[in-house]
Structure 1
Amino acid sequence: MSDPHISLGRVSTPLENTPAQAWDANAPIAAPLQLHSPTVLPQWVDYNGHMSESCFLLVFGDSSDVFFRFVGIDESYRDAGGHSLYTVQTQIHHIREASEGDPLRLTLQVLDVDDKRVHIFHSMFNATSGELLATGEQMLVHVDMAAGRAASMPAWLLGHMQAIHAAHAVLPRPAQAGAAIGIRRK
Structure 2
Amino acid sequence: MEKRAPIFFFAPFVSSTMAVAPAWIDYNGHMNMAYYHVLFDKAVEEGFSLVGLGQDYLEERKGSFFAAETHTLYKRELKAGDPVRVTLQLVDFDEKRVHFYLEIRHATEGWVAATSEGLSLHMDMRARKVAPFPDDIMANLAVMKAAHGRLAKPPVLGRVIGIPNKAGINEPLLVSGTRH
The answer to whether residue 40 in structure 2 is matched with residue 57 in structure 1 is no
Which deviates the most, 92-101 or 59-68? 59-68
Q: Detail structure 1 runs of 4+ shifted over 6 Å in the superposition.
A: none
Aligned with 1:160 (options 133, 140, 147): 140
Distance in 2, matches of 1:161 and 1:24, equals 8
- Number of residue equivalences: 164
Q: Secondary structure at the match of 2:18?
A: coil
Sequence identity (%):
34
Q: Taking structure 1 as the reference length, what is the TM-score of the superposition?
A: 0.83
Contact 1:85 / 1:141 at 8 angstroms: preserved in 2?
yes
CA deviations on 1:1-52 (whole Å, 9 max, x unpaired) are xxxxxxxxxxxxxxxxxxxxx75532x3111011232011101111111111
Give 5+ residue unaligned stretches, structure 1.
1-21
1:33-182 residue pairs with structure 2 within 5 A? Answer: 33-182=13-162
Q: Which residue identity is paired with 2:65?
A: L
Q: Secondary structure at the match of 1:99?
A: coil
Distance in 2, matches of 1:84 and 1:161, equals 14
CA deviations on 1:108-138 (whole Å, 9 max, x unpaired) are 0000011111101111111121111100111
CA deviations on 1:47-106 (whole Å, 9 max, x unpaired) are 111111010011101111112322222333213332111111011100000111111011
Give 5+ residue unaligned stretches, structure 2.
167-180
Distance in 2, matches of 1:36 and 1:180, equals 30
Distance in 1, matches of 2:101 and 2:121, equals 14
